[in-house]
Amino acid sequence: MTNQHLKNKNVLIIGGSTGMGRATAIAAYELGANVTLTSREHDKAVTAAAAIGAEVKGYALDINSEQAVLAFFETHSSIDHIYIAAGSTKLSAVTEGILEDQMKAFNERILGSLRVVRATANKINPSGSITFTGGVSTDRPIAGAWVSGLGTASAEQLARVLVMELPHIRFNAVAPGYTDTPMWDAILGENKTVILASVAERLPVKKIATPEEVASAVIFLMCNASVTGEVVHVDGGLRLI
Ligand SMILES: NC(=O)c1ccc[n+]([C@@H]2O[C@H](COP(=O)([O-])OP(=O)(O)OC[C@H]3O[C@@H](n4cnc5c(N)ncnc54)[C@H](OP(=O)(O)O)[C@@H]3O)[C@@H](O)[C@H]2O)c1
């Protein structure tokens, strides 16, 4: 693998306005890829893209909408690599609330990913790839985050089952542990720094992952043409403690 692998390749980041998606867009751009990123909001997508580079394109796309996904890919073909970072987290007790509401975050991640796969099955170039986002809650589930655990496990399993369905595409997943992104600002608010610091103290690596570290794993999965059906963990050793 060399840094030339992404030069002039068409890389699409779904959920590329912030966090690990944005970091992957930057990394791919720096390696010479033609990068397109999406956000649910048009202006946010355009602003995020322009902040990376004038050639980077930004579009609105909500993967909750099958119609929107199909319409988007009608005008976007010849894709080499897709990274799906899009997703949100729903914290709730399994015995309370309305199940259909709680499962929205699961459906967003899994049905949303499947919509993208269906729409692009014939549009990915040879040696191309789709990378999903799993997570450490597959192996280290935590109370209140059961929807996330189901979602990350399913995203990782998607990478395996789809290899058998569509072997001309490489499917993989990155499985981040605690990573300092705007997702945690939304969940923890002003307590974020203190809580993430206490998590870091428990980790073998004594630090929270950066979005750039997750991005570097995604870039590896895009570039290595022999890696498929794989899950790469970027969790600071959390699964071992
Ligand atoms: N941070 C962590 O510690 C961690 C750990 C394990 C797994 N994860 C997972 O990793 C993924 C990326 O998270 P992050 O931490 O980088 O969070 P983030 O900064 O909140 O990024 C989420 C991205 O997804 C986009 N998005 C959300 N819902 C979408 C939808 N329905 N359709 C299209 N795009 C959508 C957001 O775009 P707009 O808001 O601009 O629309 C944003 O670009 C998520 O699936 C998250 O659950 C995160």
- Total-model pTM: 0.97
- How many A from CA of 87 to the centre of ligand 1? 4
- How many A from CA of 210 to the centre of ligand 1? 14
Does the beta carbon of 18 sit less than 6 angstroms from any atom of ligand 1? yes
Kindly list the structural domains of the chain, giving each domain's residue range(s) and its CATH number in brackets, ordered by start.
Answer: 3-240 (3.40.50.720)
- Nearest-CA residue for ligand 1 atom 42 is 15
| Tens of pLDDT, residue by residue, the chain (241 residues) | 455 689 999 999 999 999 999 999 999 999 999 999 999 999 999 999 999 999 999 999 999 999 999 999 999 989 999 999 999 888 899 999 999 999 999 999 999 999 999 999 999 999 999 999 999 999 999 999 999 999 999 999 999 999 999 999 999 999 999 999 999 998 899 999 999 999 999 999 999 999 999 999 999 999 999 999 999 999 999 999 9
Does the beta carbon of 40 sit less than 6 angstroms from any atom of ligand 1? yes
**DSSP output for the chain:** --GGGGTT-EEEEET-SSHHHHHHHHHHHHTT-EEEEEESSHHHHHHHHHHH-TT-EEEE--TT-HHHHHHHHHS---EEEEEE---------TTSS-HHHHTHHHHHHHHHHHHHHHHHTTTEEEEEEEEEE--GGGTS--TT-HHHHHHHHHHHHHHHHHHHH-TTSEEEEEEE-SB-SHHHHHHHGGGHHHHHHHHHHHSTT-SPBPHHHHHHHHHHHHH-TT--SEEEEESTTGGG-
